[in-house]
Amino acid sequence: MTPAAQPEGLACLIGIAPWKRRRIATMLRNRHGPAIARDPARAVAIARERGGAIGCWATRVPPGLEDAAEDAKVPLWWIEDGFLRSAGLGAALVQPCSLTLDSRRPHYDPTGPSDLEALLQTAEFGAATLARADALIALLRSAGLSKYNLSGAPLDLPQGRRIVLVPGQVEADQSVRLGNAGVTGMLDLLARVRAEEPDAFIVYKPHPDVVSGLRAAGQGERDAIELADLVAPQAGLPDLLDRVDTVHVLTSLTGFEALVRGRDVVVHGQPFYAGWGLTQDRAPIARRTRRCSLTELVAAALIAYPLYASARTGAPCSVETLAAELAAQGSAPPPARWRALVGRLAGQFGAARAMN
């Protein structure tokens, strides 16, 4: 079994937004936290001095960091949100309750294997871990948990029709840019789904960051109604996943959440959960040769790979503890307008700082 990167191997962090540094340090199980570096040269110096890796938020890489780390032969690890994150959007400054560390590349980058892909390709999970995964699947289903756990309204869907869900994504996100497999955006995805499902009732649910005004809509995305039968920005995702027949995705995590709920999933891009025999893949990745069960997929993606923090205390915890807390807490409403504005400004400011 190939282990995922572990927090004790980190020497310093870079590219972490100030508002979540304390939470991330706590999740890394280090009372003082790894040092924070403000530029690549300092990050490399700290890593060499301490004999550890540089941890960088995967979408906030300062220019020159990768070359500097490679020249100094210092490991560079990638930090991202986990797949059961919080009750509320990260773009609205809601603190994360899960993180992933990857010593190879971000899990959404299909150009080569990540630690998560290596786990799925090689791991042999014991009976106890598989039992944990089965119990976790049952809890996720019964509580209707998802990455952000946002509230939403039920839809009035037609009876006797095949119902297909297409979740929208932020086209500027790295997972879309790296894993799109030739799909040029949300409108192109919808056109492909309509061609495959000419008689289905297609529901398009825009990404919550777009709906909340935190991120920009994709090119032509506002014309989605020309290809979908219903555009449902305020629909509740758990309710939709329980009622649709099939979910078509590009790289959206909704595809993973649909698998957890027993739905058929058609994948047009190359996300981490495709290629293991659980999805219908329109752009298969040849190196992914193992056939995994849903239990094994959940064991890797939700138990072995991420780190978790309590939604109540911020202290490190197990995935079961966090899931139980989120289930008890209930769904979060969409962010208020002021919070959406603050989140958008913070994102723009952080991106500008990362480029300097």
| 140-191 residue pLDDT tens | 999 999 999 988 888 999 999 999 999 999 999 999 999 999 999 999 999 9
Q: Is the pLDDT of residue 343 over 50?
A: no
Q: Pick from 330, 118, 122: which is nearest to 238 by CA?
A: 330
State the Cα–Cα distance between residues 284 and 272, nearest whole angstrom.
Answer: 11
Backbone angles phi and psi of 83, in degrees to 5:
-95, -5
Residues 190, 241: one domain? Answer: yes
Which residue in the block uniquely carries the two structure tokens 């909704």? 254
Residues 133, 226: one domain? Answer: yes
- Compute the C-alpha angle 248/254/260, nearest 5°: 100
Residue 236: predicted pLDDT: 92
Question: pTM higher than 0.75 for the full model?
Answer: yes
Residue 354: predicted pLDDT: 43
Q: Is the pLDDT of residue 345 over 60?
A: no
Mean pLDDT of the region 210-218 = 88
The CA-based diameter of the chain, rounded to the nearest angstrom, is 66
Average pLDDT over the chain reads 91
Q: Which amino acid is at 229?
A: D
With cut-offs at 50, 70 and 90, classify the pLDDT of residue 302.
Answer: very high
- 305 domain-assigned: no
DSSP state, residue 303: I
- 65 domain-assigned: yes
- 284 domain-assigned: yes
Give the structural domain span for 25: 7-124+331-354
Q: Is the pLDDT of residue 55 over 50?
A: yes
Residues 117, 54: one domain? Answer: yes
108 contacts 174 by C-beta, under 8 angstroms:
yes
State the Cα–Cα distance between residues 203 and 235, nearest whole angstrom.
Answer: 10
Residues 44, 139: one domain? Answer: no
Q: How many domains does the chain have?
A: 2
Residues 27, 113: one domain? Answer: yes
Residues 99, 172: one domain? Answer: no
CATH number for the domain that contains residue 185: 3.40.50
Backbone angles phi and psi of 129, in degrees to 5:
-65, -40
Residues 87, 187: one domain? Answer: no
